[in-house]
């Protein structure tokens, strides 16, 4: 697919709409203010923003943050992101408290070349997720160029992702530096896969990864499954899972995946032991569970040492590795070993020359928690977008940049 880079755009003195992904984790402090706890997505957008600023563009940034339910929420405003971006850029960033309307019109009318304005959370308006064309036109607000640097939202046909782009001619749209980097990494991964190819999937829900599991079973030599989603697979095998998380309505999906793996000769590894507790609590007494079955009243919250060893053996032999999702409740010390061990094993594989791609979301948080930054070939900023890109096809936000 052909698309332009920001170098291809004439931006001097022009208003440039830049879709960024500032959907970062926040915590509320005792004084009621919000603090960013992990800012890699903001840092990743800086090269594009700085380039446009240095070339004299009037930069208008748009992002979502969280999942606001009923319009504006003070807990989900983008002001903390603007403050962090000011520090990273070393220049003022104007944070607006709206993304459309009179305040925005006035601010953009006065905007100088080389300056940066951050619109308020676009998801404060339900029209954003609906992909509403009229809302997209109001968001555009006279912008003459469109840049998408938000790979993490490229799988969504939202107003700021595809709608604004559609209002401009193809030669006025471009991929930002981050988007370009993400797409190049995925292209390289899918174009030439060195074998053995091993994928590790974790996280809570099978339903989030149904299509990617089916797709990966056509590509990988081994699929390692942990996290909450593993218990749906274990239940589908007829195993006892105690009080562990299970999507009962997805048991047939899990059985189909197990059958497909068997037919294709894919090694599909599930937990063979567990670290469990009776309640979902960081301070709950921990029970080591030998064997695949979880006792009644206990819930599996991490994989056990035998599972870790089996996963490490597969990863040690792999030449291509894809990982998305933690293997347990890694935020709690008692249940961190599975995710930590896999992260370390993949880092070691990178050091010996394996191609390694980590897919966004909580996997990035794992890497940060255990100080493993910079030890992988590519760490994606997009969780859902990364998974959908692995399924094949063109993501809506990428298709919106297509030249022909």
Just list the catalytic residues. 41, 205, 361, 384
CA distance 18 to 253: 39
Give the strand pairing for 173-175 and 145-148: parallel
Determine whether 203 is exposed, middle or buried from the number of CB atoms within 10 Å of its CB (0-12, 13-18, 19+): buried
Whether 277 and 287 have beta carbons less than 8 Å apart is answered as yes
Q: What angle do CA 190, 192, 196 make, to 5 degrees?
A: 95
CA distance 69 to 59: 28
CA distance 189 to 185: 6
Give the strand pairing for 173-175 and 273-277: unpaired
Is residue 368 reached through a cis peptide bond, with omega within 30 degrees of 0 on the bond before it?
A: no
């Amino acid at each position: 697919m052909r698309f332009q880079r920001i170098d291809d755009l004439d931006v001097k003195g022009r208003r440039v709409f830049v879709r960024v992904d500032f959907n970062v984790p926040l915590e509320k402090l005792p004084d009621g203010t919000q603090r960013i706890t992990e800012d890699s997505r903001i840092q990743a957008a800086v090269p594009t923003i700085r380039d446009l600023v240095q070339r004299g563009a009037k930069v208008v940034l748009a992002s979502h943050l969280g999942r606001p339910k009923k319009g504006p929420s003070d807990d989900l405003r983008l002001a903390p992101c603007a403050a962090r971006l000011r520090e990273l850029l070393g220049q003022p960033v104007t944070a607006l408290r709206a993304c459309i309307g009179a305040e925005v019109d006035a601010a953009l009318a006065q905007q100088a070349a080389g300056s940066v304005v951050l619109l308020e959370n676009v998801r404060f308006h339900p029209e954003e997720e609906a992909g509403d064309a009229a809302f997209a036109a109001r968001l555009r607000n006279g912008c003459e160029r469109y840049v998408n640097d938000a790979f993490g939202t490229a799988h969504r046909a939202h107003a700021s992702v595809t709608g604004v782009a559609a209002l401009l001619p193809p030669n006025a749209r471009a991929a930002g530096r981050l988007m370009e980097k993400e797409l190049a990494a995925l292209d390289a991964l899918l174009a030439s896969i060195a074998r053995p190819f091993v994928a590790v999937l974790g996280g809570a829900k099978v339903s989030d990864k149904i299509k990617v599991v089916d797709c990966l079973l056509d590509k990988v030599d081994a699929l390692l499954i942990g996290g909450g989603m593993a218990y749906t697979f274990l239940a589908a095998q007829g195993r006892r899972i105690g009080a562990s998380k299970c999507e009962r309505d997805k048991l047939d999906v899990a059985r189909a995946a197990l059958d497909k793996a068997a037919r294709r000769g894919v090694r599909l590894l599930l937990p063979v032991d567990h670290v469990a507790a009776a309640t979902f609590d960081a301070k709950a007494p921990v029970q080591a569970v030998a064997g695949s079955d979880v006792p009644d009243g206990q819930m599996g919250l991490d994989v056990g040492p035998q599972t870790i060893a089996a996963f490490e053996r597969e990863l040690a032999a792999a030449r291509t590795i894809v990982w998305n999702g933690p293997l347990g409740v890694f935020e709690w010390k008692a249940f961190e070993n599975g995710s930590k061990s896999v992260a370390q094993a993949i880092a070691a594989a990178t050091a010996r020359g394996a191609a390694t791609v980590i897919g966004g979301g909580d996997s990035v948080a794992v890497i940060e928690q255990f100080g493993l930054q910079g030890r992988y070939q590519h760490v994606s900023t997009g969780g859902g977008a990364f998974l959908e890109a692995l399924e094949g096809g063109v993501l809506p936000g990428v298709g919106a940049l297509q030249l022909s």
